[in-house]
Structure 1
């Protein structure tokens, strides 16, 4: 197994998936998601931007206090392949330091903005001991606000145990995403799925790209 590969799922027979949220923390939508997961006892991973942690540290603290995972999504959401090595490292380290300030521990997982990932980024992620999270449901395109039904249906089309699921809680109106996640969380938990963090999912089986 390539330790620097971008992981979209793990091979497991256990009915478990990892909901993930990019681009927060957001003072409107992140708390709504926390309420949804609080009602079911599920956990999620929030890939946060350092710039947004600085603006909304109280929201990041609430995510951590409720037992969810905070992952690194860079400081300013750049295309990492367009940066020099030192610039890429700075994006990750600056955000890592902010996450440590909130949680007291280093983040274990990282997702590159735009899924823009090359050998240089892989080497830097590996040097920081990050596991790199992709997603199995990128066709949902929830960032485009395609409609609640579309987000739900596209996620369910690819659904299987071990999937990492991608959604967004920052940048723009995310009300469609919140409602789609509300429906998916209720349906999946009713169907016996366990909602776990990315790190929790990785403990269940062999990662797959």
Structure 2
């Protein structure tokens, strides 16, 4: 199991992974699900344990529609500022909750704030998880820079094997929803398939073989 953070994968297929952090949120996550129904795509949701406890039905609905639920810790701390035992607790509590709600253990992990180091990456790998980054962090959708900015920056990073980050939790995410709706339809029309991160990782393995 590689401990390196994955921002994109090498694949000949026109596939891109949209990822959503910090949910589930009762206002915005259902809107994301609706967009992905419109384009017959799947996404990966990096959900926070505390939020999943509050909105378990949304977790179950997302999973039932074919989306992937990834580990984004239980309380969203800067993980490198926590002890190893605290890091383990964040990962394990969230893993247990995801498995309880979906019947499937998560395969991937995203560190809050992209805050990581080699020690944390090795710990994550010891659980059998890949650490996931993203190419379009400079879109900074969490700062509400405007839907057009989110679209334009994310578009620059849209290519085979890209992993893109957006946020459906905490604060007003209406700009993100507008941007994701535009991008999802645009990229699908351009021949891209929107898939889960795990699907992209499978592509990378099959290509390597």
Q: Does the 8 Å CA contact 1:23/1:169 hold for their aligned counterparts?
A: yes
CA distance in 2, matches of 1:205, 1:127: 20
In the alignment, structure 1 segments of 5+ residues that lack a partner are none
Partner of 2:174: 175
Q: 1:45: Cα distance to partner?
A: 0.1
Q: Does the 8 Å CA contact 1:85/1:120 hold for their aligned counterparts?
A: no
Give me the TM-score of the superposition, normalised by structure 2. 0.96
Secondary structure in 2 matching 1:9: coil
Q: 1:103: Cα distance to partner?
A: 0.9
Secondary structure in 1 matching 2:46: strand
Partner of 1:150: 149
Partner of 1:62: 61
Partner of 1:24: 23
CA distance in 2, matches of 1:61, 1:15: 28
Partner of 1:33: 32
CA distance in 1, matches of 2:37, 2:100: 24
Secondary structure in 1 matching 2:203: coil
Q: Does the 8 Å CA contact 1:20/1:164 hold for their aligned counterparts?
A: yes
Structure 1 segments of 4+ aligned residues over 3 angstroms from their partners: none
Partner of 1:204: 203
Q: Does the 8 Å CA contact 1:49/1:75 hold for their aligned counterparts?
A: yes
CA distance in 2, matches of 1:64, 1:42: 13
CA distance in 1, matches of 2:201, 2:37: 22
In the alignment, structure 2 segments of 5+ residues that lack a partner are none
Q: 1:108: Cα distance to partner?
A: 0.2
Q: 1:157: Cα distance to partner?
A: 1.4
CA distance in 2, matches of 1:160, 1:191: 11
Partner of 1:160: 159
Q: 1:119: Cα distance to partner?
A: 2.2
CA RMSD of aligned residues (A): 1.1
Q: How does 1:131-146 map to 2 (within 5 A)?
A: 131-146=130-145
Q: 1:25: Cα distance to partner?
A: 0.4
